[in-house]
Amino acid sequence: MVVVMTSEATAEEVEAVVRTVEAAGGDAFVSRGVHRTIVGLVGDVERFETLNLAALPGVSDVVRISSAYKLVSRENHPETSTVTVAGVPIGPDTFTLIAGPCAVETEEQTIAAAEMAKAAGAVLLRGGAFKPRTSPYAFQGLGEAGLKILAEAREKTGLPVVTEVVDAADVPLVADYADMLQIGTRNMQNFALLQAVGSIGKPVMLKRGLNATIEEWLMAAEYIAQRGNLDIVLCERGIRTFETAYRNTLDVSAVPVVHSLSHLPVMVDPSHAGGKRELVVPLARAAIAVGADAIMVDLHPEPGAALCDGPQALVDVDLEALTKAVREMPPMLGRRVVTIEG
């Protein structure tokens, strides 16, 4: 059982919940987030039912959910949530395009990529300053210098910024620059990192682990929610299968399945799924068709010179096809395409 406190709940009101639970022989674990405090209860649930915790001052909700993940489950919250990133919605009524270079390499390359993203209809700019690379010899990103370039690109284009954080110790630094924090596939079960982003007041994009089941993915989201941050968007980016003809297998089924299990928005990254430029637009169309709330694509002004993931980066001609799909398909499914105007 989980007790969600109102955003105005005082420390005394939280303490009163803890004392009531402990007096009934249970344990209460308090997680104080920026937006809300969550109290997790361990012990005899039937006994807790008799305590009428919902009536205590400062309590907003008492969640009695049998599934392993509670705060992110649809059972807890029947309406699909909308996550707003610096004014840009990601949710059930809209469709949001996110685009940018896989890695921030130089100021010139990033600004050029941001202009390409904006021209293609993207409303959020994504670029990596901290890159989780398979090889320790590969380009690891520019770090804080990259975050500064992203902030400059936001200034020039007006596009809010999404960027990855790979280490719990870097969360405050990255949150100072970013409008949304990305947790990459390799870190989906880095629990210290999940708790750190759960304690910060910025939306989080949680990518699915390379070989994570949907339940493991939702449990990872629960780690973030349990720290008080429910502004989470789940991102399907392909899973590892026996197939070697492309990089990963985009699990299109995950989109409607996760929508049925969770109230969180679900998006797709077709670039990291296919790993090849020619697959990105077809996979993006598939993502829109199965009900993704957003997609995120890699692009680059000069993919041949890219320091990371050049083969999957879109160039102008592919972006035209992508823009067409993004303008035309979501309205057929009852969604409004989010534009820079709103």
Q: Which residues of the shown chain bind Mn ion in the complex (CB under 5 A)? A: 102, 309
Cβ of residue 274: shortest distance to ligand PEP, in angstroms?
A: 12
Check residue 272 for interaction with ligand PEP (CB under 6 A): yes
Check residue 265 for interaction with ligand PEP (CB under 6 A): no
What does 185 interact with, of ligand PEP, Mn ion, none (CB < 5 to 8 A by kind)? ligand PEP
Check residue 247 for interaction with ligand PEP (CB under 6 A): no
Beta strands, E only, the chain:
2-5, 27-32, 37-42, 59-63, 83-85, 88-90, 94-100, 124-126, 161-164, 180-183, 204-207, 232-236, 266-268, 294-298, 336-337
Check residue 259 for interaction with ligand PEP (CB under 6 A): no
- Which CB sits closer to ligand PEP, 202 or 272? 272
Check residue 102 for interaction with ligand PEP (CB under 6 A): yes
- Which CB sits closer to ligand PEP, 9 or 308? 308
Residue nearest to ligand PEP (CB): 184
- Which CB sits closer to ligand PEP, 104 or 319? 104
CB-based burial label for 184 (10 Å; 0-12, 13-18, 19+): buried
Tokens of 120: 């293609």
Beta bridge partners of residue 29, listed in sequence order: 40
Question: How many C-alpha atoms does 101 have within 13 Å on its Cβ side?
Answer: 33
Q: What distances in angstroms separate CA 155 from CA 42, 161, 309, 340, one per listed residue? A: 47, 10, 26, 14
Cβ of residue 102: shortest distance to ligand PEP, in angstroms?
A: 5
Whether residue 50 contacts residue 199, with contact meaning beta carbons closer than 8 Å, is answered with no
Select the residue interacting with ligand PEP from 76, 185, 190, 226 (CB under 6 A): 185
- Which CB sits closer to Mn ion, 230 or 296? 296
Select the residue interacting with ligand PEP from 74, 154, 207, 285 (CB under 6 A): 207
Select the residue interacting with ligand PEP from 70, 118, 227, 237 (CB under 6 A): 237
Whether residue 263 contacts residue 80, with contact meaning beta carbons closer than 8 Å, is answered with yes
In whole angstroms, what is the distance from residue 337 CA to residue 260 CA? Answer: 22
In whole angstroms, what is the distance from residue 177 CA to residue 154 CA? Answer: 10
Cβ of residue 288: shortest distance to ligand PEP, in angstroms?
A: 19
Binding residues (CB under 6 A) for ligand PEP: these are: 102, 128, 132, 184-185, 207, 237, 269, 272
